[in-house]
Amino acid sequence: MKFKEVAKANTSKSSKFHFQHFLSQHKVLTAATILLALLISVIVASISVQGSYKFSRENFDRLTATAATIINQASGEDPIISRTCSYERPGEFDNLHLYCRVSMVAYLPYKDDSNAIKIAKKLDNILRLTFKQSYLHFSSFFQKPYNGYGVTVILLNEPAGHQCNFYVETNKNAERVLNFPAKSDDDLIALSFECSAESQAEYFPVTYRQG
């Protein structure tokens, strides 16, 4: 074979090798891009489903019963319960959405700091056992129980991931709790709960409609 023919053959082999290498890299890049796109789609779909979930009457009833039982176990008192609905805009230019709210409170005598901490720790332990995910755990309250305030954020087991709050408040802070009438006595511990969610229907009285 002549020199020019050998050089031509080598050049042809080299070009073929680079082309195959390019195709191989291109396939890997394409596969990676497709996998990334699928992953993003799954995440977006998951967030969308969670964000668009509307509570049924069964969801609200279960939530109310669970929270009332927890507060009763911690305080020994049956809580006062309020359930209302409202029409509000999630964003400035959004359409009105229907939200319903469950709130409740139980009052106990304050007595002293150690009694307040004991009751708050009892509620805290119940919440840790009941919910897979909970945060804060009244940490600020344990440091300052008198005229104290603490919140534990919980993520519901069903429907999974929805956030609600339990509170413990004392003395001046316990005089007015959530949407309940003010108390004249400030020698109190207030254990309370609040949760709001978009609702499928007007299950409770509508008390507010945003303009």
pLDDT in tens, 61-116: 999 999 999 999 999 999 999 999 999 998 888 999 999 999 999 999 999 999 99
HSE toward the beta carbon, residue 61, CA cutoff 13 A:
4
The one-character DSSP state at 174 is G
Q: Is 96 in a helix, a strand, or coil?
A: coil
Q: How many CB atoms lie within 10 A of CB 97?
A: 15
Q: What six digits make up the tokens of 173?
A: 């802070």
Percent of the chain with pLDDT over 70: 75
Question: What one-character DSSP code corresponds to residue 171?
Answer: G
Q: Where are the domains of the chain?
A: 1-52, 57-209
Tokens 């006595």 belong to residue: 185
2-17 in b/e form (b: 16+ CB < 10 A) is eeeeeeeeeeeeeeee
Q: Is the pLDDT of residue 21 over 90?
A: no
**Structural tokens at position 143:** 């440091």
Amino acid (1-letter code) at residue 197: A
Q: Parallel, antiparallel, or unpaired for β 188-198 and 206-209? A: unpaired
Q: How many angstroms from the chain centroid is the CA of residue 183?
A: 30
Determine the 3-state secondary structure of 132 from DSSP. coil
